[in-house]
Structure 1
Amino acid sequence: MTSLSDEMFQAMMDWNPLFASLVGVPGWDDRLDDLSVDGHQALRTRLTGILGRLDGSDEDQVSRDVIRHQAESIITCIDARLVEHSVSRGANAPVASMLRATSHIDFSQRRHLVPRLLEQAERRLLDTDRRPLRRHAENGAAYVGRFLASPRQEWEGDEDLRPAFARYREVLLGLPGRDDEQAGLCWLPDGEENYRKLVRDYTTASYSPAELHQLGLDLIARLHEEYAEIGSRVWGTGDVREIFQRLRTDLLWDNEDEMLVNAVEAVGRAEAEAPNWFGRLPKARCEVRFVPEVDRHNAAFAYYEDAALDGSRPGTYFVNPLNATGRSRTVSEVTAFHEAIPGHHFQLSIAAETELSNVRKFAFIDSYLEGWGLYTERLADEMGLYSSDEARLGMLGLDAMRAGRLVVDTGLHALGWPRQRAVDYLRENTAMDDAEISSEVDRYVEAPGQALAYMVGRLEIQRVREEARAAMGERFDIKVFHDLVLENGVVPLPTLGKLVSDWSGRA
């Protein structure tokens, strides 16, 4: 008899079959997303049925918490109809996500479904009362245009898929998109309610958009003090504006290879030090590679991809060398610690190597997943991994980005900020350059609420750690704490808090 955990996992992978192939879960290699309204509603009905049977099931309480979150999360995304106005980048932009996946997984059994996915995406864009930003439609069309201008890719096989991509591109170019003055979700039908639900989904916490906005403002103010302290040591100035400017213009990469070497060295240092901070280490290896060339214009500047379950592919930390000589080297180490070791590689590989159910191993709970990644950026400083104060300024730089996300995401989607106000805020309060800021803001517009998960998750992990330390005193063991956080799989933040408090009370 199929358990409710198994049912939920099957629904999750039906929602995102490319992810199943990416992590090596068999059974979805001949599938692509079903973007149709009927397909989404059928999945929604399945999920509602799972929720209705959850309280009377045999599942343990942690698994129930995860199943409940996952079902409600997918329902929230379906109800918000994100595929109807997300076309440029990120997980909510299905065509861009599919094209990026072609570089990493086998498409031989599913490429015949590509025209169907493109037609479904077109239909959702045309039969809707909501529109993407005009700039995002143009960016999505440009990405597809680069693909059409590229040599024939191996994944395309013998099928003539390009006419379908060309039609999709023409649809994007013909859309009457929104202008930048109405960038946020609050400008769309049911937008305010959808945003509140997405905030709850991504944070797994009870913050209101207004509370998150103020939290971000407060964190930015405190970070300015840290910038001034380290900037005084590095450059003899505590002027935050001057520090930002120097971070944007000084300490740039000389070439692409230098970027890769630095990332490899940072991951190596972290791997060597990790046994002093973790009792359990992953069996899967972590490789460092450049982002495939075809993906560089539309990929983040760095990201991690899970190891395959069968060991056929290691975990991989991808570094994007696009415009390397115009980018600051200061964020290289902190990004490696977040994405690779002890960040997502430890988190995802250790969970995958447990005996937990698949729903616990592979749940999509960003406040836990990205909260851990951001937590490890500061943990790396405790571990002595940063090679210089310049690298610590990079740590502060990414901290400021994540704190700024609280301000800007809520500003756009709850307060109705125009896009330019979000750009101006990040330029004033972070060390990101103009290209990074533009890319970041566009990401927030297309993934409402996701950017909130990082800082909310980090603060909660830090909070439960300090509460456990206070309760246990000398009995507190950082290795055991980290193992506890990682060995229980992907969980909502309230569930993590309960796990830690139960442990600290028993130990």
Structure 2
Amino acid sequence: MIAEEMFAAFMERDPLFGSLLGVPGWDDRIEDLSVDGEQALRARLADVLRRAETSGEDPVTLAVVRHQAEMIINQIDARLVEHVVAESLAAPVNRLLLRASETDMSQRAGLVPRFVDQVAVRVRDSGRRPLSRHLRSSAARLDGFLKSPVQEWEHDSSAPIRASIAAYRETLLSLKGRDDEQAGLCWLPDGEENYRKLVRDYTTTSRTPAELHQLGLDLIARLREEYAEVGSRLWGTSDVPEIFRRLRTELLWDNEEEMVAHAVEAIARAEAVAPRWFSRLPRIGCEVRLVDEAERGTAPIAYYLEAALDGSRPGVYWLNPLGATERSRTQSETTAFHEGVPGHHFQTTLAAETDLPDIRKYASIDAYLEGWGLYSERLADEMGLFSSDEQRFGMLSADAMRAARLVVDTGLHALGWPRQQAIDYLRENTVMPEPEIQAEIDRYIEVPGQALAYMVGRLEIQRLRAEAQAELGDRFDVKAFHDLVLENGPMPLSTLGELVASWSSLR
């Protein structure tokens, strides 16, 4: 079946992810990032696309297969491996170091030097230079690894692993990178065309970078009205700059333990209320864990890791406590609802517990995945989960960040903004602390287009729900709607729209 072939190619692209999921057969593999290796995978995916045209599999599965094949082809064609070196989950070597401690490396630790050497050659021989600051920050991250004690996952391959990483570090330091004035993809060869393709892949829509840029500007303006409303109620002021100042400087965490306890409490509260909004509930729970100390400098502020297929590992909401006492506690609950319950944990676990083809369960379609995560933040407000207006400010802050992403991602990669202009926009229109602003902008630079998926997906899920409610009236069942969206796994937004329309017409 073509769905099985696509899933095998998907796993070949990221064998460590397969092992994290518990998919058998990938524990002795690491992806091949040589030019020949990527081109062989590209040819395999092109063949999948050709045969999908005459396949008799169901339309949703075929839509997912086409999207995944086209997305990986476009990422290969953009040659991202040659200039993405610093971001923790996108830069190949950093991603491996982050995941290695979470998966079985016993059969592939010996393959790590070859993998690192492949990346070094691609970066060294390319004309697509990373930013100078990213070369330096990645080298610093690798230096931290080299100075750390030998880790368990290295097994008996520690010496060659560390030698290859040391050589890669020297390669990074030897290169002359781009300056911050040329931060975006549009400054690289074929960058504008590559960005358009990545935008289409990440949003699964035909919206242009210019349209998305304007959408972000419009949303930011509307969010200021909501800030003023909540500010008047909580603090007696509707002055948005004053509200921003207070959110940046007050309501900070006292310590890491307080941050973790609050997240655990929020997820437990969401799990208790969820049966009123969902008919199907995950059989596997969601745990809160702190990112390992060695990874805190490059890991995201928060992220979710899917549960293992065999139930040996629960879903994990990872929290990065770096700079906790300088961060606002107002975003604690909204982030827990996005990453955990009813967000990514419900989404990924419920799909995994179905009989869908594996590519349908685990497809990387961010407009759906992150759209649901952001939808969950607003849904949490409907569910009565926010404990205070203080925490509701966090929901608005998260919304503003995702709306601003539409502006700065397109600004950087389509309009040619320098890095500082993107930083200034986030400073003016969000309440993100300075370290987070810097980290977010560097993430957008190295993962072009991905930041657009959140708000585009959220708005589409909300639109589809509103249309279904208008059509069905009293017959609309929100639990059935949520079950429909989640039990069919990730899919392009247009396919989700067709599914919801068919469901509405049959009820």
Report the Cα distance in structure 1 between the residues aligned to 2:471 and 2:453, rounded to whole angstroms: 27
Report the Cα distance in structure 1 between the residues aligned to 2:90 and 2:13, rounded to whole angstroms: 12
Report the Cα distance in structure 1 between the residues aligned to 2:493 and 2:127, rounded to whole angstroms: 35
Residues 176-255 of structure 1 mapped to structure 2, 5 A cutoff: 176-255=176-255
Q: Report the counterpart of residue 130 of structure 1 in structure 2.
A: 128
Q: Report the counterpart of residue 452 of structure 1 in structure 2.
A: 452
Report the Cα distance in structure 1 between the residues aligned to 2:25 and 2:236, rounded to whole angstroms: 59
Q: CA RMSD in A?
A: 0.7
Report the Cα distance in structure 2 between the residues aligned to 1:92 and 1:435, rounded to whole angstroms: 19
Report the Cα distance in structure 2 between the residues aligned to 1:296 and 1:228, rounded to whole angstroms: 34
| Residue-by-residue CA offset, 1:435-472 (whole Å, 9 max, x unaligned) | 11000000000000000000000000000000000000
Q: Report the counterpart of residue 167 of structure 1 in structure 2.
A: 167
Q: Report the counterpart of residue 484 of structure 1 in structure 2.
A: 484
| Residue-by-residue CA offset, 1:473-506 (whole Å, 9 max, x unaligned) | 0000000000000000111100000000000011
Amino acid at match of 2:102: H
Q: Report the counterpart of residue 144 of structure 2 in structure 1.
A: 146
Task: Measure how far apart 1:55 and its partner are.
Answer: 1.9
| Residue-by-residue CA offset, 1:322-348 (whole Å, 9 max, x unaligned) | 111111000000000000000000000
Residues 395-474 of structure 1 mapped to structure 2, 5 A cutoff: 395-474=395-474
Q: Report the counterpart of residue 86 of structure 1 in structure 2.
A: 84
Q: Report the counterpart of residue 263 of structure 2 in structure 1.
A: 263
8 Å contact from structure 1 (residues 228, 237) kept in 2: yes
SS in 2 for 1:28: coil
8 Å contact from structure 2 (residues 213, 411) kept in 1: yes
Report the Cα distance in structure 1 between the residues aligned to 2:179 and 2:390, rounded to whole angstroms: 39
8 Å contact from structure 1 (residues 145, 169) kept in 2: yes
* TM-score normalized with structure 1 length: 0.99
Amino acid at match of 1:52: R
Report the Cα distance in structure 2 between the residues aligned to 1:399 and 1:26, rounded to whole angstroms: 39
Report the Cα distance in structure 2 between the residues aligned to 1:150 and 1:263, rounded to whole angstroms: 30
Q: Report the counterpart of residue 384 of structure 1 in structure 2.
A: 384
SS in 2 for 1:309: coil
Residues 293-332 of structure 1 mapped to structure 2, 5 A cutoff: 293-332=293-332
Identity %: 67
Task: Measure how far apart 1:101 and its partner are.
Answer: 0.3
8 Å contact from structure 2 (residues 6, 69) kept in 1: yes
Report the Cα distance in structure 1 between the residues aligned to 2:32 and 2:306, rounded to whole angstroms: 23
Q: Report the counterpart of residue 109 of structure 2 in structure 1.
A: 111
Amino acid at match of 2:278: F
Report the Cα distance in structure 1 between the residues aligned to 2:320 and 2:332, rounded to whole angstroms: 11
Task: Measure how far apart 1:433 and its partner are.
Answer: 1.0
SS in 2 for 1:158: helix
Q: Report the counterpart of residue 67 of structure 1 in structure 2.
A: 65
8 Å contact from structure 1 (residues 17, 31) kept in 2: yes
Q: Report the counterpart of residue 77 of structure 1 in structure 2.
A: 75
Report the Cα distance in structure 1 between the residues aligned to 2:228 and 2:147, rounded to whole angstroms: 47
Report the Cα distance in structure 2 between the residues aligned to 1:34 and 1:144, rounded to whole angstroms: 21
Report the Cα distance in structure 2 between the residues aligned to 1:330 and 1:91, rounded to whole angstroms: 26
Residues 28-43 of structure 1 mapped to structure 2, 5 A cutoff: 28-43=26-41
Amino acid at match of 1:55: E
| Residue-by-residue CA offset, 1:255-280 (whole Å, 9 max, x unaligned) | 11000100000000000000000010
Report the Cα distance in structure 1 between the residues aligned to 2:88 and 2:97, rounded to whole angstroms: 11
Task: Measure how far apart 1:235 and its partner are.
Answer: 1.5
Q: Report the counterpart of residue 20 of structure 2 in structure 1.
A: 22
SS in 1 for 2:294: helix
| Residue-by-residue CA offset, 1:78-119 (whole Å, 9 max, x unaligned) | 000001000001443100000000121111111101110111
Q: Report the counterpart of residue 339 of structure 2 in structure 1.
A: 339
SS in 2 for 1:289: strand
Report the Cα distance in structure 2 between the residues aligned to 1:90 and 1:327, rounded to whole angstroms: 20
Q: Report the counterpart of residue 58 of structure 1 in structure 2.
A: 56
Which consecutive segments of 4 or more residues in structure 1 shift more than 2 A? none
| Residue-by-residue CA offset, 1:375-413 (whole Å, 9 max, x unaligned) | 000000000000000100000001000000000000000
SS in 1 for 2:11: helix
| Residue-by-residue CA offset, 1:183-203 (whole Å, 9 max, x unaligned) | 000000000000000000000
SS in 1 for 2:81: helix
Task: Measure how far apart 1:58 and its partner are.
Answer: 2.1
Report the Cα distance in structure 2 between the residues aligned to 1:147 and 1:232, rounded to whole angstroms: 48
8 Å contact from structure 1 (residues 270, 342) kept in 2: yes
Moved more, 144-153 or 335-344: 144-153
* TM-score normalized with structure 2 length: 0.99
SS in 1 for 2:287: strand
| Residue-by-residue CA offset, 1:201-249 (whole Å, 9 max, x unaligned) | 0000010000000000000000000001101112211111111111111
8 Å contact from structure 1 (residues 103, 292) kept in 2: no
Amino acid at match of 2:369: L
8 Å contact from structure 1 (residues 90, 446) kept in 2: no
SS in 2 for 1:316: strand
Amino acid at match of 1:82: L
